[in-house]
Structure 1
Amino acid sequence: MSGYSDDLSLAHLLADAADSISMARFRALDLHVESKPDLTPVSDADTAVEKAIRATLARARPRDGVLGEEYGMSMPGAGSGSRHWVIDPIDGTKNFIRGVPIWGTLIALVEDDVPVAGLVSAPALGRRWWGATGHGAYAGRHQAGATRIRVSAVNRLADASLCYSSLSGWKENGRLEPMLDLLLQVWRTRAYGDFYGYMLLAEGALDVMVEPELSLWDVAALMPIVREAGGTFTDLQGRPGPGGGSAIATNGHLHEEVLTRLAGEPA
């Protein structure tokens, strides 16, 4: 069994608190929304969730650092500086503020720049996903009702279901044509966006998820879950770490072909 069981249990406690805060503000008539400097929205629920998670981590893991989307990096105290938690308080804020239930809190533990444990909680969907190195990947409403999850065995693009967030980012990075070509090669495409496509991939409900632009807090929690479910997770250059700013997640069987096609190379 993995050495991350206690960390996963803590992640569930953090998610319990986050769910309570976010669900109380979901579809609230007095929800307060502002634009950040990068023009992306942030609600009072985003900031309240991150503050609550940080407060608990300061008590429970005072030696660990914390990186959050809304408040940046807090350095650890004396001790294991190689460990830090990465928090996206509400992934899918645009969905959240429009009343769409596909949003969630992402909680990751990173050691020596490698995401080793991750949890995604989507309370409006009534579902969580979690995993850690050597522990496996699971889904359910809570730990006690967990089911182990696994990626699909689909091994041909013509039979594959592919998910993406949007097409605008592909145009901006000069890969729109390869992306459109890839969309035409698969059996089915959907644009669920944010964390949800990756979790459906981990459950075996789809086979490929791609995004051209991401931050560390967008992917850190997703990587351990996808990998422990048997999938492969890299950036667009095929590098396995979380720092590449893009993502290709597959069931493993299709990974090299997807990489090749998105590079604009003949398949």
Structure 2
Amino acid sequence: MTDSASAADLRGDLDLALRLAQAADEQSLPRFDAADLEVSRKADRSHVTDADLATERAIRAVLAAERPADGILGEEYGTEGSAHRQWIIDPIDGTANFLRGVPLWGTMIALAIDGVPQVGVVSMPALGRRWWAASGLGSWTGTPEAPRALRVSSVDDLEDASVSFQSIAQWADAGKLDDLTRLAERVWRDRAYGDIYAYMLLAEGRIDMVAEFDVKEYDIAAAVPIVREAGGRMTSYDGVETLSALSALATNGVLHDAFLELLHPSD
């Protein structure tokens, strides 16, 4: 994915994205593990809570006030406005964890310019953690007052790689179970850390690859700048640099081609 905006242009957008994350945390965290959490199902049978809806509304309200000309794509309330500059929002990634009281969930906020994610913020308030990046400005975690730069691992051999595959059912539904078996047999360690947290572990250099299927733009957009600015690479499962392929393959960059070859031996 190529850059189409300067770092100076993006600094203000990144500052806004961090403020959006704070507004989101103020909605979501008080509802985490709440006894009166309201849970329903959407048309696709996935869960949605009152916290998902309130969190996205809070983000949209700030954007309406501060970036009225920008477009928005959100998981819960759809698309509106321009696609040139589009904020891509997943108010609570990991809703299944959220409603069961498991702290591995977070808000994902990205700004895509002409379809390329240039700014990304991930906030996991139940863990007290936040990650952020913008093209040319690096990838960071911690707090804005005390940031720590992120860097992917330097592992360069598949036999030494630690990977996250998200879930067996997900790979089976995609018709890729044989690929998953081949992957597990080749790498050092395989685990299903799940959802956005796995991508943040990759950006921190804790693991070396993440792959998943049945993902929408809002499931992965915020991770792209964070992984990329940390030195990693993120494509579709087939190696295409796009948000719309319904799959994702993120690596430390060094091993990306090797993983593609392993997962597509007959291509």
Please report the TM-score for the alignment, with normalisation by the length of structure 2. Answer: 0.95
Q: Distance in 2 between matches of 1:134 and 1:31?
A: 40
Deviations 1:142-176 (A, max 9, x none): 21121010000000011111012101121122211
2:249 is the alignment partner of 1:243: no
SS at match of 2:145: helix
Deviation at 1:207, TM superposition (A): 0.4
Q: How does 1:79-158 map to 2 (within 5 A)?
A: 82-140=84-142, 142-158=143-159
Task: Check if 1:70 corresponds to 2:76.
Answer: yes
1:127 and 1:2 map into 2 onto residues whose CA distance is: 26
Structure 1 partner of 2:190: 189
Amino acid at match of 1:133: S
Q: Does 1:38 align with 2:69?
A: no
Please show how residues 159-178 of structure 1 align to structure 2 within 5 Å.
159-178=160-179
Residues 11-45 of structure 1 show CA distances to partners (whole Å, capped at 9, x for unaligned) of 11111111111111000000000011101000000
- CA deviations over 1:40-68 (Å, ceiling 9, x no partner): 00000000000010011000000000110
2:10 to 4, 16, 26: 4
Cα offset, 1:262, TM superposition: 1.6
Give the secondary structure class of the aligned counterpart of 2:231.
Answer: coil
> How far, CA to CA, are the matches of 1:33 and 1:211 in structure 2?
25
CA distance in 1, matches of 2:203, 2:214: 20
Bigger mean CA offset, 47-56 vs 3-12: 3-12
TM-score (normalizing by structure 1): 0.95
Letter aligned with residue 263 of structure 2: L
Aligned match of 1:202: 203
C-alpha distance in 1, partners of 2:144/2:165? Answer: 29
State the SS of the aligned residue for 1:107.
strand
Give the AA of the match of 1:251. N
Structure 1 residues not aligned, in runs of 5+: none
Q: Give the alignment of 1:224-263 within 5 angstroms.
A: 224-263=225-264
Runs of 4+ off more than 4 Å: none
Question: Aligned partners of 2:176 and 2:31: how far apart in 1?
Answer: 38
Count of matched residue positions in the alignment of Structure 1 and Structure 2: 261
Residue 35 of structure 2 corresponds to 29
Aligned to 2:3: none
Is residue 2–residue 133 contact of structure 1 (8 Å, CA) maintained in 2?
no
Unaligned regions of 5+ residues in structure 2, if any? 1-6
* Matches of 1:123 and 1:236, distance apart in 2: 29
